[in-house]
Amino acid sequence: MHLVLFRDWIRRIYATRDDELGCEEVFDAIASYVDMEIAGEPAAECFPRVLAHLKQCPHCSDIYLALRAAALLEDQELARELVELEHPDSH
């Protein structure tokens, strides 16, 4: 178990880049990143440094996953409401 954690830590160190974003910058961009993903737009291409940071930072990755899950649920709820508006007698 410790070897796996150590390898992950080493992988993260070697994957760092000079032009990396910090957590605060990623936090400012993460909602736009998720919105683009949910809309089927190329978020990773538009925000490559955000993606690189998410691969490196477990804290920001956790925030991203929680925000994405909430956005997907909201998107599904909105889709359900639209169907109900189109077919009001389907209850």
Residues in the chain: 91
Nearest-angstrom CA–CA distance, 84 and 89: 8
| pLDDT of 20 strictly over 80 | no
Q: Which residues lie below 8 Å from residue 73, measured CB to CB, with a gap of 6+?
A: none
- Which of 26, 41, 30 shows the shortest CA–CA distance to 69? 30
Domain ranges of the chain: 2-90
Give the model's pLDDT for residue 56.
86
pLDDT value, residue 32: 96
Side-chain-side CA neighbours of residue 24 (13 Å): 0
For the cut 70, the answer to whether the pLDDT of residue 40 exceeds it is yes
pLDDT score of 33 more than 80: yes
pLDDT tens digits, residue range 44-75?
999 999 999 998 889 999 999 999 999 998 88
pLDDT on residue 78:
73
Q: Which two tokens stand for residue 76?
A: 């599904």
